[in-house]
Each structure stands twice: as structure tokens, then as C-alpha cells.
Amino acid sequence: MGAFLVKRILATIPVLVIVAIIVFTLIRLVPGDPAAVIAGNMATNEDIARIRTELGLDRGFLTQLALWAKGLASSDLGQSFFFKKEVTALIGERLEPTLSLAFLTIVLTVLVAVPLGTLAAWRHGGWLDRALMGFSVLGFSIPVFVLGYLLVYVFALKLDWFPVQGYRPLRDGLWPWLHQLLLPAITLSIVYVALIARVTRASVAEALTEDYVRTARAKGLPEARVLVRHALANAAVPIVTVIGIGIALLIGGVVVTESVYSIPGLGTLTVDAVLARDFPVIQGVILFFAFLYVMVNLLVDLSYLFLDPRIRY
Amino acid sequence: MSETRAPVLSVRDLAVALPAGADRALAVEHISFDVGAGEIVCLLGESGSGKSVISFAVMGLLPDNVHVSAGEIRLGDTNLLSLTAAQLRELRGDEIAMIFQEPMTALNPVMTCGAQLDELLSEHTAFSAAERHAKTLAMFEAVKLPEPERIFASYPHQLSGGQRQRIMIAMALILEPKLLIADEPTTALDVTTQAEVLALIKTLQRERGTAVLFITHDMGVVAEIADRVVVLQQGKQVESGAKHEVLQSPREDYTRMLIAAVPPIDPPELHHHFADAPALSVQELCKTYSSGGWLQKRRETRAATLVSFDVRPGETVGIVGESGSGKSTVARCITRLIDPSQGEVHLRDVKLHAGSREALKAARKRIQIVFQDPYRSLDPRQRVGEAIIEGPVNFGVPREQALARARELMTLVRLSPDVLSRYPNEFSGGQRQRISIARALALDPEVLICDEAVSALDVSVQAQVLKLLEEIQAELNLAILFITHDLRVAAQICDRVLVMQHGIVVEQGTTRDVFRAPTHEYTRKLLASAPGRAFQFAAAAAT
């Protein structure tokens, strides 16, 4: 396993290098000049040229790339054009809201989807099963922003159970933090509940047909134990895989949700950076997301070792 | 069994209804038998006889859409059919226990073996954790598992098939149930392991006075273990009685047919002479698998070592051995489904071991395989006619001509040519295996390799397919390499045999010589393990 871990961690390096080069190239291909955005509408051409030189954008493409790469090697993501701050510091500031939202979403999703999917598999074809299938089609097809505004309208504006928008950091206390985040987390989790409940249902339903489930019943075990310890435990690998994919996809999802609920996280930072053509921030955030993505995948692969003793690396 | 003692299990006039749309309305009907304490009753039947349905009815584990429609099942004084689901669950594992066919899949792969017994004990007893642990270890000892402590902490995949079946037996018997249901418990095991497991079940059952309902399709196993036999056919009880009555003087034709279909283990005398040059010649074939590499320790597994033999036209050469003996590896190397590590394979003038992919392609049609499982070796979405002509058409035979040949082949394997447009699921196992044979013959091969080709079939069907193979061989002068774990089958069809163990041919010669006067210790052990070897069956006695 040690060898596997070393290999996998080494393998992340080329992935991140390729992502870095692609992002760097792509944002320079997109029309729009950061210097012009910073200079504003009233600026002269000289102003813009001066700002370009200040930002280093007048140098050749390869020189810029080399400079950025040099910074990366010493974990320096550069300076934001717009905020005039270190990108690493910016990401640090915005990390808590995004991680909080992602974490709460995943916890909610797993707590709801796994039991729901398991019960649906157990009563295959029953009312719960059919209701769940219907719900999941709905969950897949409603866009996050529609659902977000709908929930805000009902639960924040009409019923006044939750605040409309904003974020309270964890240091203000657990309840204020949770109270602020619950609505966005629910919004974001609907589609993942649909996805993970379906996968759980399929996976558990398959496990329920296995011989060892028959053995468990022949032992006179209570149905709950047959379902959890024998069926669900054996169905775990595909479920965890999809949860892993869900976490990765969520990173894309927070961009929209944070905008809808005005949460000052990485999602809003990305949107602001794109609008301001803030190249270093865009590069840094995307590289950071790619890094998270690779780490989540590694953790999922490692979790297999605990879920299935037959898997050895 | 004395008249005064009530039987442990009493089944009276049992009928089990299948859901609408099944091939028959009742899975079983008018089933009546008793199992007394300390008695082993065998339910004997071929596939579709309903023998497993009876065991699940007793356990209360029938699928939701299948239910008991008439009759009575009593465990001692308790009418099992009147119990609630919760009451039945209390009995299961405690009073009635069950062992299943597939030790590979019947244990939970993500729980240690110890934990699987432990949860049974904690469900049905009030023992402390330490007591449960001690009791489990003692039971592992009783089923003769080596190093109980290590086995306790092992996962099922770390154990052999025989060891897993011992775990199942330990789990079934640890609470000393009154009734043990054993559903084909040794069918998936190697013959030497089967002999050990049968002996173990018998010993434990004697010691504890357990009533055993033993389900099997294997006449040899019945001869080995049964006190009484119930013969089933298509859900109906054909006859029942003491083992000696049923097996030696059967009353019903069906029973007689079943007994007659059991191949005798004594090979018939060899009449043929094969003077021709070999069609297939294998010389010092070796196959070594190695795993590991970068950062990992290299491990080598020798799957086949220095295997040499010839197969001449018209001759059937058998490779017998248990799982892991390397017999299938040899077949795969010959057909170059895998590359041999060393050695030579000649198909007359063609070197199969060395040729390029192109050269190999031309030779491939001359050597064909029939695989073990007729349910999985045919593409379910391909009409059988298409499956048969796919090979010839691939080699450039015009479609019409290939179809005409397919019709001839269907006649050759005793099927109607009119069914070529059907899909595999419309055929029984035996019919599918005939189709597989027709498919293999469609390329006019010189050599036919049968890899456990009759192992998945019922004995009566097995006998028909073996006879068919012999007739086809005589007609086409085929060289057949017949790979099997079943000594009875080998005895009947093979002219010569090779006995393999751990990748090495330990003995070879004419089948009659090897079976009548085995020289290697392993061959002797294999032959001694064949179930029912010492038993005189009715038909065998008659000939």
C-alpha cells in the first residue's frame, strides 16, 4: 500500500502541470484585457499600456508562463490584478464558506440518500421505491438556480425560517453557521440525493440477490442487520465512488449556489475574477480545484481498502 | 426409526405455487416425507425438479412471489406454516440450519469468518463476547479447520473452497440445530475435498443426532451419504424409500433411467488403434505467471510445467485434475488464448506456439473449443444460427453456404434445423451445449477441445451429450482433448488420460490402465474420493 500511495501522489504532479498549462493558455485566448478592465472606461491608451507593463502582460507568452511556473514551484500563486493581494491569501480567506457549504451538502446528501436508496432496494417496486424514482427524475431535471430561488421564496421570504442570503463564519457559533448554510446546502444537495439514492438503490438491490444475503437470512438475523451489515456493506464501493464524483462535481455546483445566496466563498471569487479578467486568481482557483479533485479521488481509492478486504494495492 | 418417535421434520402433501407466467403452475406438488433424528434423507433430482424449492419452503425463505399453496410442514410439534415471520426467524439458524452449494459466494466477503459466526451467536444466545469467541474457536476445531485463531480473523477470500464450506458447516451446526438442510453442499468442491466434507457432515451429524435433509443431483453422493432417498422429477415425487431399495431395486422408470445414466467409473476396454500421426502434439509446454514489478516483490506461479502429449485423429485424450491443477491453462495455451512461456504446440505441420497473429488466424479454425457453461458461452442477443455461421463467414465462406452447413450441423447434433432463428434462452442447457458443439464444428476443425463441456449438465443430459460426441468423433475422425474434473465421465469417454496436479502431469496412459492400476499416489487418492465408488447401483449390477 505504501508503494501505491507514493505512486499515486507522484502521479498527481503531471495532472496538475497539464491543468496549469491548459488554464494558463485558455484564459489568454479568451478576448478581454485585464488592463482595460482595471483602467476603467475613462482611461487613455497610455494608461492601459502602463498598467499592462505593471502587470507584466506586455511580456511574451512563454516568459509569463515561466514566471508563473517559477512562482508555483515555491507555492506562490502570484498576485491578484484586481484585489492587489496574494492569490494564496485570497483563496485562504474564501476557503471556509466554500468548504462549509460543500461539507454540509455532502453530509446532508449521504444522510438522506443512503438510507432512502437502501429502503427502496429492500422494498423493490413498493411505494417508497416508486416515489424515490419519481423524485430523482425531478431532482435531476430542476436547475440549481431555479430550485434555489424557489426555496428562498418559500422558506426565507414567505415562512421566514431561514435568512435569505449571506454567510456567518463558524467562529460565530455552530447554530448561526448552520442556520445560514442550511438552505443553500439543501438546494445544492437535491441533485446529489437523486444521484446517490439511485446508485444506492441499484447497488443494494443487486447485493440483496447475492448468496450471502440468503445465508444471513438463513441464520435468522433481523432484516435490519441483513440489510445494513450484509447488503449495504457489500454495496458500498460503487456508492462511495459516486459520492466521490459528487464531491468533485459539487465544486462546480458551489459557483452557482454561492452566487444565488451571496456567500463569499471560492465560487463568488471565481465569478468576480472571471468578470475582472483577474488572470492569477482564475489560474490559482482552478488549479486549487484540480488539486482538491485529485485528492478526493485518492481518498476514494484508499477508502476501498477499508470497505472491501479483497482490494489490495 | 421407531414408530413411537415423532420425526424431526415432517412434510405432508406439500404444494408450492409459482407466479403466473412461469413454465408450470406448481413448483412442487404432493410431496410427503419425514426426516428422523440422526437420519439423512436425500432429495434427489435433476435441475427443475423442485428440490431447492422444498428446502426454501421449510426454511420459510421462499421468494415473495412464490408461496406454499397446500400441505403441511412440521418441525417436531410445530407447524412451520402457521408461524409468523418473526417466529420463523427465531427458528432459523437456531433450530433449522442450512448449508448452501456455493461456498465461494455464500459467505459475506466483507466480514471476517469469525464475525459471521459471532453475529449468529449473539442473535440467538445470551453468551458473552468471550464465550462466543471460545465457542466459535471450538467449533472451527470440530470441523477440522487448521489454526482456528487465524481462520477467525480471515476473510472468506483468503480461504480455499473446502475451508469455506467448513466455515458454513461450523456456522450451521454451532447451535446444534435439530434439522440441517444441506443444499448441494459439495457440488462446487473438488472430488477429494468433497469426500472430506461428506465424511465431516456424516460424523458431526452422527455425534449430534441431527436430522439432515440433503439435496443433491449426484447419485454417487446419495450412495455415499443417504439413509433414505426421495426421488423428484419436475416437481413430483417419483418414489421414496431406503437407499438400498431405491438405488438397487428402483420401482420407477425415471429412477432407473437416472441410475443408468451414471457413468461407471470402470473404463470400458479399448478397441481402437490410432496409428496415424498426431493431429495435435504438445511438447514440454510450460506456463508461468508472474506478478508484481515496480516497487513490489516479484512472484511466480507455475500453472503448467513440462506438459507433453499427443492427440491422434479419432482419439479422445482426457486431462483430469482438480481446480488449480493447470488443466484449463494447458487448453488455453494450445489455442493461444494465452501465450505459453515455453514448449511447443504442433497442429500437424503448423507451429501454434510460435506463429504470428496472421499465421495463427488461419490455424485457429482448425482447432475449436466447447466451453463449460452453455448458459454463458452463447451470446444471448445473437440468434443461434448467427452464432454458428459467424466463424465460417468470418473466414470468407458465403453466407448461404454457411447457413446450409449450419442446417446440416443441427441435424448432426440432433436438433431441428428449423430452430436456427431462435435465441439461446429458448433452449435448455443440454440443447445449448449441442448448439455450442455445432458452432465449434462449423469451422471443420481437426481438433476439438472440450473444457468441462458436460460438467454443468444433468446426468441424463450429460449421457446424451457424451454419446453424441462419440458419434460425431467417429463420423468426422476428430481428435478430441477432453478436460474434466469428473472421473466417471473421463472413464467413459477418454481413450487415454493425463492426471494433473499443481501444473504437473503426474501420470498418463490408457484410461483403463490408469484407472485400474494407478501408479501415482495422487491418482489413487482421486479415484478413492469418487463418491459412491464402492456402491453397486442397480443398472451397473445388471450389466
Instruction: Please state the three-class secondary structure of A11-34 as a single string.
Output: HHHHHHHHHHHHHHHHHHHCCCCH
Instruction: Please state the three-class secondary structure of A94-112 as a single string.
Output: HHHHHHHHHHHHHHHHHHH
Mutate: best of A210, A212, A217, A234, partner B, most B CBs <10 A: A212
Residue B137 lies in a domain: yes
Grid cell in block for residue A300: 476514494
Q: What are phi and psi of B302, to 5 degrees?
A: -90, 105
The distance of Cα B261 from the centroid of its chain, to the nearest Å, equals: 16
Binned at pLDDT 50, 70 and 90, residue A206 comes out as very high
Same domain? For A167 and A59 the reply is no
Identify the domain boundary among A7, A40, A73: A73
Domain span at residue B314 reads: 280-366+445-542
**Mean pLDDT of the region B198-222:** 91
Of B93, B109, B110, the CB nearest to A219: B93
| pLDDT attached to residue B227 | 94
Instruction: Please state the three-class secondary structure of B80-128 as a single string.
Output: HHHCCHHHHHHHECCCEEEECCCCCCCCCCCCCHHHHHHHHHHHHCCCC
Binned at pLDDT 50, 70 and 90, residue B68 comes out as very high
Is residue B476 within 8 Å of residue B368, measured between CB atoms? no
User: Residue B464: which CATH number?
Assistant: 3.40.50.300
| pLDDT attached to residue A197 | 93
Residue A46: CB atoms within 10 A of its CB come to 9
Q: Which amino acid would we find at residue B341? A: S
Q: Is A215 within 8 Å of B93 when comparing Cβ atoms?
A: no
Q: What is the ipTM of this complex?
A: 0.79
User: Residue A113: which CATH number?
Assistant: 1.10.3720.10
Q: Which of A1-5, A11-15, A114-118 has the highest mean pLDDT?
A: A114-118
| pLDDT attached to residue A239 | 94
Same domain? For A238 and A204 the reply is yes
Residue B66 lies in a domain: yes
Chain B residues at the A interface, defined by Cβ less than 8 Å, are 59, 61, 89-94, 97-98, 100, 102, 105-111, 119-120, 123-124, 155, 157, 168, 171, 294-296
Same domain? For B293 and B173 the reply is no
CA distance B226 to chain A (A): 23
Residue B516 lies in a domain: yes
Is residue B466 within 8 Å of residue B489, measured between CB atoms? yes
Same domain? For B232 and B345 the reply is no
Kind of pairing between the strands at B228-233 and B236-242: antiparallel
Same domain? For A100 and A62 the reply is no
Same domain? For B126 and B237 the reply is yes
Q: Is B108 within 8 Å of A220 when comparing Cβ atoms?
A: no
Same domain? For A50 and A114 the reply is no
- Give the model confidence (pLDDT) of B475-505 as tens digits: 889 999 999 988 888 998 999 999 999 999 9
State how far the alpha carbon of A248 is from the alpha carbons of A172, A273, B170, in Å.
28, 21, 46
Same domain? For B67 and B152 the reply is yes
How many alpha carbons fall within 13 Å on the CB side of residue B82? 6
Of A3, A215, A217, the CB nearest to B107: A215
Q: Is A310 within 8 Å of B91 when comparing Cβ atoms?
A: no
- Give the model confidence (pLDDT) of B294-341 as tens digits: 555 667 788 888 999 999 999 999 999 888 888 888 988 998 888 889
Residue B539 has pLDDT above 60, yes or no: no
Same domain? For A168 and A255 the reply is yes
Residue B394 lies in a domain: no
Residue A85 lies in a domain: no
Same domain? For A59 and A141 the reply is no
Residue B24 lies in a domain: yes
Question: Per DSSP, which regions of B371-522 are E strands?
Answer: 447-451, 479-484, 496-501, 504-510
Q: Is B59 within 8 Å of A218 when comparing Cβ atoms?
A: yes
Residues of A in contact with B120 (CB under 8 A): 219-221
Same domain? For B334 and B200 the reply is no
> Total structural domains in chain B?
2
Mutate: best of A209, A215, A310, partner B, most B CBs <10 A: A215
Same domain? For A36 and A137 the reply is no
Residue B4 has pLDDT above 60, yes or no: no
Residue A232 has pLDDT above 90, yes or no: yes
The rounded distance, in Å, linking the Cα atoms of A73 and A75 is 5
> Total structural domains in chain A?
2
Same domain? For B213 and B318 the reply is no
- Give the model confidence (pLDDT) of B111-156 as tens digits: 999 999 999 999 999 999 999 999 999 999 988 888 899 999 999 9
- Give the model confidence (pLDDT) of B240-275 as tens digits: 999 999 988 999 999 998 888 888 888 887 767 777
The rounded distance, in Å, linking the Cα atoms of B522 and A126 is 56
Residue B214 has pLDDT above 90, yes or no: yes
Does the beta carbon of A308 lie under 8 angstroms from any beta carbon of chain B? Answer: yes
Same domain? For A69 and A95 the reply is no
Q: Which residue has better confidence, B522 or B537?
A: B522
Binned at pLDDT 50, 70 and 90, residue B542 comes out as very low
Q: Residue A88: name the closest of A295, A290, A280 by CA.
A: A280
Identify the domain boundary among B231, B261, B291: B261
Same domain? For B73 and B217 the reply is yes
Same domain? For B231 and B349 the reply is no
Residue A312 lies in a domain: no
Residue B390 lies in a domain: no
| Adjacency order of strands within the sheet including B211-216 | B78-79, B67-75, B9-17, B26-35, B236-242, B228-233, B40-44, B211-216, B179-183, B96-99
State how far the alpha carbon of A131 is from the alpha carbons of A125, A142, A199, in Å.
10, 17, 15
Q: At what angle do helices A61-73 and A279-307 cross, to 10 degrees?
A: 50
| pLDDT attached to residue B292 | 61
Domain span at residue A129 reads: 90-307
Same domain? For B208 and B328 the reply is no
Residues of A in contact with B100 (CB under 8 A): 211, 214-215, 218
The rounded distance, in Å, linking the Cα atoms of B405 and A250 is 59
Of B61, B90, B111, the CB nearest to A217: B61
- Give the model confidence (pLDDT) of A250-272 as tens digits: 876 777 788 878 888 888 898 88
Size of interface A-B (CB pairs under 8 A): 82
Identify the domain boundary among B201, B231, B261: B261
| pLDDT attached to residue A240 | 94
Identify the domain boundary among B261, B291, B311: B261
Same domain? For A200 and A119 the reply is yes
Residue B518 lies in a domain: yes
Same domain? For A49 and A130 the reply is no
Same domain? For A213 and A140 the reply is yes
Same domain? For A57 and A116 the reply is no
Of A3, A216, A220, the CB nearest to B108: A216
Same domain? For B169 and B198 the reply is yes
Same domain? For B252 and B293 the reply is no
Same domain? For B238 and B287 the reply is no
Q: Which residue has better confidence, B287 or B536?
A: B287
Q: Which amino acid would we find at residue B535? A: F
| pLDDT attached to residue B308 | 93
| pLDDT attached to residue B144 | 86
Residue B209 lies in a domain: yes
The rounded distance, in Å, linking the Cα atoms of A166 and A152 is 12
Grid cell in block for residue A136: 430523482
